[in-house]
Structure 1
Amino acid sequence: MEFALKYFVIFLLLSMVTQGLCGCTFDEIEIGTERTGKEISGQTEWKVTVINTCTCPQKNVTLSCSGFSPVNPVDSGLLLPQGNTCLLIKGEALSAGGTAEFAYAGEPYIFKPVSSTVDPSCNH
């Protein structure tokens, strides 16, 4: 009985550890913004880089974008407004360590990750 209990505890601990290796959350989405040096319609152009710092792909990445009003709309294939949030790259997976970039002209805006889902193909 003691033998089985030890292995059960070891199995339980290993299960918890391996689940944690791929426990990606939207907190592992980093966003950087920088000036491009260009102006469009008298407004500064900004390049936004979204990086997945997790070891697993994440999809359906949504960013805060309430009040975001660029001079020209961002390509909807890159950033699709959906009320107070925007869907990144049509909800497609952002690979582990992968980046997505888009540019806009207007007032500086601080994008924040709101949600994402871990791609089920991640087998870590």
Structure 2
Amino acid sequence: MASNACKLLCLVLSLAFVTQGYAFIWRDCKPNDLIVTQSKTGKLVQNKPEWEVKVTNPCKCQFLHVKLSCAGFSSVTPISSSVLIHVNDNCYLGGAGMVMPHLDVVFNYVWDTSFDFKENGTKFSTDIIMPQNISRKKLHQNQTMASPDACKVLCLVLLFAFVIQGYGDCGLNYLSVKQSKTGKLVQNKPEWEVRVTNPCKCKFQYVKLSCAGFQSVTPVPTSALSKSGDQCLLDAGKLIFPHVDFVFKYVWDTSFDLKVVDGVIVCS
């Protein structure tokens, strides 16, 4: 009886961990559930009204790569690319960032009339999001906290299996950034190829590189590299998958010191 009770307890704990908050995700969470509202703030810039756009996530799941239709979008005042990236007729919210459950993302723009912002191809995620600074020491301590009782040990191992699967050897410092000359010259300046490689089993998201003073004779698309201050958001914050390279090019006299400084590890 004790053995059966132990197995049942482990099963319940496992299911609770995996499905908590997502029991009805397929039924209750859809990209078009995102609510986009606009209103005038009452402020005028160059005799044009300022508009506040609020994107609300009413669901239990987080949304990734939030994309809004924004044909013809313009603003008298510039909008930071860390807030909104305009590519053709679409705008990526927060650099294709994450909208967490029951939270609003807000940005302002200035124009004569409001634009027709609508959800246009967003994804939702049930991935387990883990910050990159979790130490292996802490994980090890947690793993050894269980009592010697076999049932408790089994349940603890089962729970941690979901959390640390594929994560053990993944950290931001594992992302490899390599640069090399392509051999091509533009206005007598060399073209450089930057290759960011993910050798881990986990995915990386919202990867930012240090890029103080970064310039290029030829423009680098903001969808590939979006500069804000001394940091550059890579690939509009999209996922970098295991064992996949992300490549972009720029043209300048010398190479810039591009290093990974921030990002989120996603293990599922």
Using the size of structure 1 for normalisation, the TM-score is 0.82
Q: Is 1:80 the equivalent of 2:223? A: no
Find the aligned partners of 1:102 and 1:4 in 2 and give their Cα distance.
53
Which shifted more, 64-73 or 90-99?
64-73
Structure 2 partner of 1:27: 173
Aligned residues: 119
Structure 1 contact 25–116 (Cα < 8 Å) conserved: no
Distance 1:93 1:17, change over 3 A: closer
Q: Letter of the aligned partner of 1:70 in structure 2?
A: S
Find the aligned partners of 1:117 and 1:99 in 2 and give their Cα distance.
17
Q: Is 1:114 the equivalent of 2:258? A: no
Structure 2 partner of 1:5: 149
| CA deviation map 1:50-82 (0-9, x unaligned) | 011110111101111012222223111111101
Using the size of structure 2 for normalisation, the TM-score is 0.41
Q: Letter of the aligned partner of 1:7 in structure 2?
A: C
Find the aligned partners of 2:262 and 2:225 in 1 and give their Cα distance.
14
Structure 2 partner of 1:96: 242
Structure 1 contact 25–115 (Cα < 8 Å) conserved: no
Give the CA deviation at 1:27: 1.1
Give the CA deviation at 1:116: 1.2
Structure 1 partner of 2:130: none
Find the aligned partners of 2:153 and 2:224 in 1 and give their Cα distance.
46
Find the aligned partners of 2:233 and 2:217 in 1 and give their Cα distance.
19
Percent same amino acid among aligned pairs? 29
Which shifted more, 93-102 or 70-79?
70-79
| CA deviation map 1:70-107 (0-9, x unaligned) | 22231111111011110011000011111110011112
Structure 1 partner of 2:16: none
Which shifted more, 24-33 or 37-46?
24-33
Task: Answer with 1 or 2: which has the greater Rg.
Answer: 2
Q: Letter of the aligned partner of 2:250 in structure 1?
A: Y
Root-mean-square deviation (Å): 2.3
Find the aligned partners of 1:89 and 1:40 in 2 and give their Cα distance.
24
Unaligned runs of at least 5 residues, structure 1 = none
For the residue of structure 1 that corresponds to 2:149, the secondary structure is: helix
Give the CA deviation at 1:5: 2.4
Structure 1 partner of 2:199: 53
